[in-house]
Amino acid sequence: MTISRLSIDTSGFMKDTIGDAGITNEEISALSPRLDGLRAKIKEWQTGDAVNFLNLPKTTNLDAIEQMGRECAHKFKTTIVFGIGGSSLGGEMLARTLGHHKPRNQVKFYDNIDPRTLNEVNDVNWSETLCMVVSKSGNTAETLSQFLTVLPRMERYLGEAGVREHTIVITENKDGALYNIAEQLGIKPVEHPAVGGRFSVLSVVGLLPAYISGVDVSGVLEGARAMAKRCSTEDILTNPAFFSGAAQYLHAEKGRTISAFMPYADNLRLVVNWYRQLWAESLGKIDADGRHRGMTPIESHGVTDQHSQLQLMLDGPDDKQVTFIASPGVRHEGRRIPMRFQELPAVAPLAGHTLGELFISELKATRETLSRRNRPNRTFGLYDRDAYAIGELIMLLEMETVVVAELMGVDAFDQPAVEESKILTREYLADLRSADF
């Protein structure tokens, strides 16, 4: 069995580290009976035939994804991905975190409909470009509009047969508009698994664009499988997702309902974007008693936001819990700061050290300062571009999200409130069509 390559330090959540602001193992253990229902669900998810996020590392057809990915990487220099939310964030996270970033096989993600950004697509050389369109429902207005606005240009440059060869459609709903459009164009849709978009990163949705960009998707799935096994342990104190989820819930009950994710690695910034949707959309609900539940995820970057948000974290309201992510190996990287000008007080502490040593020292200092101010924090450590560790991290964050949802008494897998804005959007579009300009 492969040893975990993701280190998890939750000591900054605990009373031993941050005093009375912290929590204890006894408080966490007291929540264990409230998770019995979730334990039963986990067993069902792991042994049943129904596809779910927990068994995706086992049920995802890796051979098919790799074969499709090899063909795409061979035929096309560039891949454009149209999708929004979970249809885009997971794949982009993997590609930016683990991909090779070579000129060939570039994967570009368009997860918004800002017309000025989408104008970039006007300059695409369609003869060497693949268009990947992803929507679970097949009715996502933004994704449909992205594809439908570039389709005439694709048809003009490629012809009908070329459009079929240069387009991959990933969708689940056979009654959805995207499925219908694909059929009319002669494109055979790739099946989106029956899981919500924000939990779909370990399926073809996230893994195909990741593979094209050079990611070791097999390693990602292997790490996720290992973490899923660890998260099936019934003991709340040794199950990493149960422990972390319970700890975050307890701090939320103390009023710390803002979750700041702070990676000390530029290539891990996209992890925050993916996590932000997972956390917000899964937890932001009304429970059975009519209470508004949830925790607000915010994006922070080390060391940049030490110079913007850290002051608030230290002296502002005690309403936050901070998660650091770091690559310990970075301490051995970067140029060495020269000894020149070391007579200057501001330069003297820096002289002779690498940028990586400064980077990690600032992380340690920030973490220690938070702990001294009795502000809860935890740290994930993983080595750079380690697919196995990223797979572990993905599964852990998904599982602890489900744990917190269970403790809050909300359904982690729906998002009932967003439908109203979709209806209003259609009404406003109708008003624009009838408006007298």
- pLDDT digit string, tens, across residues 78-114: 999 999 999 999 999 999 999 987 767 899 999 999 9
Q: How far is CA 59 from CA 128, 143, 188, 203, in A?
A: 32, 27, 21, 9
**What are 103-148's pLDDT values in tens digits?**
678 999 999 999 999 999 999 999 999 999 999 999 999 999 999 9
Delimit the domains of the chain by residue range. 7-40+219-417, 61-215
Strand partners, 354: 336
Strand partners, 298: 260
Nearest alpha carbon to residue 373 among 305, 295, 324, 311: 311
Annotated active-site residue 166? The verdict is no
Strand partners, 201: none
CA diameter of the chain? 73
CA 433 from centre of chain:
37
Spatial contact of 413 and 282, defined as CB atoms under 8 Å apart: yes
pLDDT bracket for residue 1 (50, 70, 90): low
Average pLDDT, integer, range 197-210: 97
pLDDT bracket for residue 303 (50, 70, 90): very high
Q: Which of 172, 281, 398, 400 is catalytic?
A: 281
Query: What's the chain's average pLDDT?
Result: 95
Measured between alpha carbons, how far is 276 from 259 in angstroms, rounded to an integer? Answer: 9
Annotated active-site residue 74? The verdict is no
Question: Residue written as tokens 């009795």?
Answer: 374
pLDDT bracket for residue 317 (50, 70, 90): very high
Asked whether the domain spanning 61-215 has the same topology as the one spanning 7-40+219-417, the reply is yes
Asked whether residue 208 carries a pLDDT value surpassing 50, the answer given is yes
Asked whether residue 221 carries a pLDDT value surpassing 50, the answer given is yes
Asked whether residue 2 carries a pLDDT value surpassing 80, the answer given is no
Measured between alpha carbons, how far is 51 from 415 in angstroms, rounded to an integer? Answer: 19
Measured between alpha carbons, how far is 50 from 195 in angstroms, rounded to an integer? Answer: 10
CA dihedral (271, 274, 276, 278) positive or negative: negative
pLDDT at 384: 72
Q: What is the DSSP letter of 55?
A: G
pLDDT at 434: 66
Q: Which of 75, 100, 101, 422 is catalytic?
A: 422
Strand order in the sheet with 129-134: 106-110, 78-82, 129-134, 167-171, 190-191
Q: Which of 26, 307, 343, 419 is catalytic?
A: 307
Q: Where are the alpha helices (DSSP H) in 254-354?
A: 269-283, 310-315
Superfamily of domain 7-40+219-417: Glucose-6-phosphate isomerase like protein; domain 1 (3.40.50.10490)
3-state secondary structure (DSSP) of residue 286:
strand
**What are 19-46's pLDDT values in tens digits?**
999 999 999 999 999 999 999 999 999 8
Strand partners, 320: 258
Nearest alpha carbon to residue 404 among 334, 329, 321: 321
Instruction: For the chain, state the CA radius of gyration.
Output: 23
pLDDT at 188: 96
Measured between alpha carbons, how far is 164 from 182 in angstroms, rounded to an integer? Answer: 9
pLDDT at 416: 85
Q: Which amino acid is at 105?
A: N
pLDDT at 256: 99
Average pLDDT, integer, range 325-350: 94
Q: What is the pTM of this model?
A: 0.95
Annotated active-site residue 422? The verdict is yes
pLDDT at 437: 41
**What are 286-299's pLDDT values in tens digits?**
999 999 999 999 99
Question: Residue written as tokens 């389709």?
Answer: 151
pLDDT at 435: 60
Measured between alpha carbons, how far is 88 from 204 in angstroms, rounded to an integer? Answer: 12
CATH architecture of 61-215: 3-Layer(aba) Sandwich (3.40)
Q: How far is CA 26 from CA 13, 30, 238, in A?
A: 13, 6, 13
pLDDT bracket for residue 283 (50, 70, 90): very high
Nearest alpha carbon to residue 81 among 40, 111, 56, 42: 111
Percent of the chain scoring above 70 in pLDDT: 98
In b/e form, how buried is each residue of 196-206, taking b as 16+ CB within 10 angstroms?
bbbbbbbbbbb
